[in-house]
Each structure stands twice: as C-alpha cells, then as structure tokens.
C-alpha cells in the first residue's frame, strides 16, 4: 500500500547540507500498524512528514498505491503531540468533528448520524457541547482522532501523540486507539521513542539509527498475541532486544 524506496532527505542546497535520512526502504501493508522508533534526532518525524506530503524527498520515492506522494492529501491525516493546537478552540466538540464533513458540503441531515457514531467511538458523546479548553489532554486527543476519522482517511500518521499525557491516561489512550484500529482497519504509522509503547501497539517496529544519515537499523515483527501483557516474559525479552539496538544512541 505504502512504499518508501531509497529515500534520502538533505536540508540545505549544497552537498554540505545536513543529511537527515539516507537510503530508507520501508513497505507498509493495508491495515498494518507500524511504529517508527529511535532516539531523539533519528529522523522519525522527518520521515513521517514526508509520508504526509509536508516535505519532499531529496532522493528516492514514496508511493501510495503505486502513485507518488508529492503533497498532502485527505487520504492521509497527521496527528500531533499537542492536540489542543490542532483543534479549533472556538468550536464545540461536536462542531470540531463536523468540520471535515461541512467542508465537503455534506447536507446536515446526513452529517448527524456520522458525527454521533464517531463521538461514541471515542466516548465523547456526553461532552459534545463542550469546547476543547474544557477537556482533559486525553479527551482532546480522542477528539482529534474522531475529527480525523469522520472524513474516512486511509492512513493515520501519528507523531508521538501521547507523549505529553500522564502514564494512566497514556495507557487508556493505547486501549482506545487499538480498539479504533481493530474496528476501522485503518493503516497507522506511529512515531515513538518509547520501546514499551511500540511493542504494545504495533505489528512491526522500524528501528531507526541516530542521525545524521539516519537509516533503518532493523525492522522487527511483533508476534505477541493481543491484548499484550507488559509483565509477560516474551514482552520483556523483546524489549531487551530492541533496547540493545539503541541504548548507546539514547545515552549520547
């Protein structure tokens, strides 16, 4: 579905410019949940921005269904760590979810059942009349998810969306996102520097080396059955394997 072929990204016009990514190859299947994992500065967000169409490659190609990605499109939706800055503060929860449908000029009578379905999916039905400033961090992230899903994108691109949340809320958001993923069959590319989060969520983990000239160090399949138990020995063994790949880069 999504193919990254020998992608290089250089910032600056000369050969002495900073090379963030070098020779990245990655294929992502329809409905797959893939995590991009690595130390800070390894180019995870840069690669995600290229997948979103926000940045162009210096060399190599990125294709969706065989067609080059050259710009942002409605089939791909980006999620950011700060959900509050991505939402419209002057609109209610319900109005934020409805925004994408209204830009498509969908009749209001057709909008309502779709809005209701997506508010229920993220457990925000009782908060439909509130404004984003009245919501907790986790609720704002759930609202961001509902607003994106209502336009039915193929791919969700998530840049450390839960990093700013407390541990308990973050765990709840893991369950919420996985439930939505199972129900909607969306393809998800999820950036994180948290090994436990990557193992808990994904089908495969693409471990990136630290920049400059970041590469994919290894792509690791996660074959643990769901739901996953962080206290299980298999979970711990996989954690140690991945940690051994990046521990020196994290220390640096």
Residue 213 binned pLDDT confidence (cut-offs 50, 70, 90): very high
In a domain, 197, yes or no: yes
If DSSP codes are grouped into helix, strand and coil, which group holds residue 199? helix
Q: CB–CB of 97/150 below 8 Å?
A: yes
At residue 104, the pLDDT reads 83
Bond prior to 208 in cis (omega within 30° of 0): no
Please tell me whether the overall predicted TM-score, pTM, comes out greater than 0.75 for this model. Answer: yes
pLDDT at 125 over 90: yes
**How many Å separate Cα 159 from the centre of its chain?**
5
At residue 229, the pLDDT reads 94
* Mean model confidence pLDDT for the chain: 92
**The domain spanning residue 201 has which CATH number?**
3.40.50.300
Q: Which of 56, 150, 174 is nearest to 100 (CA)?
A: 150
Tokens 């939402």 locate to: 87
pLDDT at 252 over 70: no
At residue 44, the pLDDT reads 93
| Tokens of residue 227, six digits | 């739901």
Give the number of domains in the chain.
Answer: 1
pLDDT tens digits, residue range 184-210? 999 999 999 999 999 999 999 999 998
pLDDT tens digits, residue range 128-172? 999 999 999 999 999 999 999 999 999 999 999 998 899 999 999
Domain containing 251: what range?
Answer: 1-75+187-252
Residue 213 zone, left/alpha/beta (φ > 0; ψ -120 to 50; rest): left
Residues near 223 by beta carbon (within 8 Å), at least 6 away in sequence: none
In a domain, 48, yes or no: yes
């Amino acid at each position: 579905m999504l193919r990254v072929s020998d992608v290089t990204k250089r910032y600056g016009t000369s050969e002495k410019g900073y090379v963030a990514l070098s020779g990245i190859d990655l294929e992502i299947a329809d409905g797959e949940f893939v995590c991009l994992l690595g130390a800070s500065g390894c180019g995870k967000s840069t690669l995600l921005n290229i997948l979103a169409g926000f940045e162009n490659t210096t060399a190599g190609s990125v294709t969706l269904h065989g067609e080059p990605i050259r710009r942002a499109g409605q089939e791909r939706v980006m999620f950011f760590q700060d959900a509050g800055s991505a939402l419209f503060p002057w609109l209610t929860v319900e109005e934020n979810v409805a925004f994408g449908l209204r830009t498509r000029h969908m009749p209001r009578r057709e909008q309502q059942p779709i809005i209701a379905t997506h508010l229920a999916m993220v457990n925000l039905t009782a908060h439909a009349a509130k404004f984003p400033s009245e919501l907790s961090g986790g609720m704002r992230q759930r609202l961001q998810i509902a607003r994106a899903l209502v336009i039915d994108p193929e791919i969700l691109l998530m840049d450390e969306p839960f990093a700013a949340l407390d541990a308990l809320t973050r765990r709840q958001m893991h369950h919420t996102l996985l439930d939505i993923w199972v129900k909607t069959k969306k393809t998800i590319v999820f950036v994180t520097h948290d090994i436990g989060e990557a193992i808990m969520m994904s089908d495969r983990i693409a471990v990136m080396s630290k920049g400059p000239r970041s590469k994919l160090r290894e792509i690791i399949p996660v074959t643990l059955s769901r739901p996953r138990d962080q206290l299980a020995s298999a979970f711990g063994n996989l954690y140690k394997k991945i940690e051994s790949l990046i521990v020196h880069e994290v220390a640096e």
